Structure formats: structure tokens, C-alpha cells
Amino acid sequence: MCSRVALRAGITRVAVRSHVIRHSVASAAVESGVDLPTTAGMLGHSGTGTISTYLHTRASRVEAARETVRSIMQVINPRTGARGR
């Protein structure tokens, strides 16, 4: 079923199975700001422990997080960008 729908959508380079769609939905939800407990509930999980298998962190999101931390550290200590001790 999934393969036929994928072909109709023009997806021909990857094998599309229900798990791939489930994984994509979970990843897109989290990247769009849906929290982990809500995403887990959408997938029918009772907790967030098993949902990590559906998630991937994109390099661009990691770099954005690093920049946010750098900005915060610059405010804390403008001279070094880090909290002095």
C-alpha cells in the first residue's frame, strides 16, 4: 500500500514503508516544536523512552543551538564568552 502511494507521489528512489512514514512524521513533529510527550502520544507510546529511535538531529539544528549557547555565554561574560570562575 505505502509503495503504491509513494509511486503515485513520484517517490521512486527509496523504499517507502509504513515505518518510514511513521519515522518522518515523528521527526517533522519534533522539528516543528511539538514536545516529546505529545509526539509519543501521537504515535501510541505510553512514554518518551522509545521515541528516540524515531528522531534525528539535523546538523543545521545543532549549529543553531551552538550559536544560541555562544550568544548566551557572550552576554554572561563579553570578554571571553564564557562564565569566569
Q: Yes or no: say if 24 and 11 are a contact pair by the CB < 8 Å rule.
A: no
Distance of CA 74 to the CA centre of its chain: 27
Q: Binning pLDDT at 50, 70 and 90, where does residue 85 land?
A: very low
Q: What is the DSSP letter of 10?
A: T
User: Model confidence over 28-67: pLDDT tens digits?
Assistant: 888 888 888 898 898 888 888 877 766 666 667 777 778 8
pTM of the model: 0.55
| 13/48 Cα distance (integer angstroms) | 31
Residue where the block lists cell 516544536: 33
User: Model confidence over 69-84: pLDDT tens digits?
Assistant: 888 888 887 776 555 4
DSSP string, 35-54: -HHHHHHHTT-SSSTTGGGG
